[in-house]
Structure 1
Amino acid sequence: MTDDDLDQRKFPRVEFNLAPEPGEQLPLWVNSAPPPPQGLAGVVLNMSEGGIQVLTGADQPLQAERYAVRLLPDGAGPEDGFTLNAHCNWSSPLSTIGHLHGLEFDDFSARAGQFLADYGLEVAERKWVRCLLTQPH
């Protein structure tokens, strides 16, 4: 992506983690599918008011068009966090590590805005933000 492409974005992004380098270790839960019907586990790489980039395991490509994305900040359990509805714009395999997905939000909540503001202040520290991708209700 060029600097011109970055200038075309509608919203600034908050980077949580860069895509893993070859050979870099990911947390175990990235490659472990949660038990059904919880959905697919993922790691949030970056997020803006308009969308999110998520890394799922190598055996977990996204199959549907629409998802409920439940964000789980480090240390949060499945009952914590918050959910945003999104649709998948693109997916791409990322070597043998997993699949990278770009999802666009259908809506954006004040809670998500506060989450971005809070995490945006701490970009120097490497953060793992998990998510669960499920079918929307």
Structure 2
Amino acid sequence: MNTEYRVWDGEQMYYYGDEGICLSIGELGSIDGKVFGWSLWLEGYGVIAHSGDGKSVLMWHIGLLDKNNKAIYEGDVSEQEETVLGSPYDGVLIGAVNMLEGQWCIVNEKKKEARPVFSETATNKILGDVFQNPELLEGAE
């Protein structure tokens, strides 16, 4: 099982392996009457993000790297380019990495198109993420 993750707290991205970071999952907690199922802790500060705060998002590394050996996470904005003629997919697709029907896909809402992230005939390149770079999806045609 892949355990690498990242958490967007509404302002900053935290990654698995960052110094002093710890993720707790499964034990329901409560802060200010809001129940949550996961929490991100920073040594010396306590809980810095949790699933019940209405702004934080937990994202998993999908187990693949892009063409630049950068880890691909849920919520990344990826550019996928098909490299083989005759493929059912044509050209370049820019979209957000999301789980769709049990597989990781690149989803372009404007084009109403989705492609599997894993492909033996296409390359993926991470352009940014949907939280820190939302403008990348605005122009995705």
Bigger relative contact order, structure 1 or 2 (CA pairs below 8 A, ≥6 apart): 1
Q: Rg: which structure is higher?
A: 2
Could you say which TM-score interval applies, normalised by the shorter chain?
under 0.3
Q: Give 1 or 2: higher helix fraction.
A: 1
User: TM-score, structure 1 length as denominator?
Assistant: 0.24
